[in-house]
A and B are shown apart, each in its own frame.
Chain A
Amino acid sequence: MITENIILNAGKRDPDAFQRIYLEFKDFVWNIALKTTGNQTHAEDVTSEVFIRLFKNIRKFEFRSSFKTYLYRVTVNTTLNYLKKENRRKTKHLNEDFKELRDCQIKHEFDEKDLADKLLSKLDINKRILIVLREIEGLSYDEIARTLNMNLGTVKTNIYRARDRLRKIYEEVKDEM
Chain B
Amino acid sequence: MKCKDFNMEMINRYIDGELNPEEKIRLRNHLEKCKYCRNYIREIRDIISVVKERREVPDRVWERIKKRIHLFNRKRFVCRFIFVPAVAVAVFLFAFIFSAKKGMDISVDDYIQKQLGYLNGEPLIDSRYLEVKSEEYVVDSLLNDEL
**Chain A: interface residue count, which band?**
20 to 34
A131 to B51, CA, bound (A): 9
State which of B9, B58, B69, B73 has its C-beta within 8 Å of the C-beta of A160: B9
Cross-chain contact B51 with A116 (CB below 8 angstroms): yes
Q: Which B residue sits closest to A26, measured CB to CB?
A: B57
Considering residues A13, A51, A157, which has the most beta carbons from chain B within 10 angstroms of its beta carbon?
Answer: A51
Q: Which B residue sits closest to A40, measured CB to CB?
A: B58
B residues in contact with A163, CB < 8 Å? 12, 15, 44, 47-48
A120 to B69, CA, bound (A): 32
A residues in contact with B57, CB < 8 Å? 26-27, 30, 47
Cross-chain contact B12 with A120 (CB below 8 angstroms): no
Interface-facing stretch out of A82-90, A105-113, A164-172: A164-172
Chain B residues with a Cβ under 8 A of chain A? 8-9, 12, 15, 40, 43-44, 46-48, 50-58, 60-62, 64-65, 68-69, 72-73
Q: Which 8 A-B pairs have the closest CB atoms?
A: A30-B57, A160-B12, A51-B65, A48-B64, A26-B57, A48-B65, A166-B47, A116-B51
Chain A residues with a Cβ under 8 A of chain B? 13, 15, 18, 22, 26-27, 30-31, 34-35, 44, 47-48, 51-52, 55-56, 115-116, 119-120, 131, 135-136, 156-157, 159-161, 163-164, 166-167, 170
Query: What are 16 of the A-B contact pairs (CB < 8 Å)?
Result: A30-B56, A44-B60, A47-B61, A48-B64, A55-B72, A120-B51, A135-B51, A136-B52, A163-B44, A163-B47, A163-B48, A166-B51, A167-B40, A170-B43, A170-B46, A170-B50
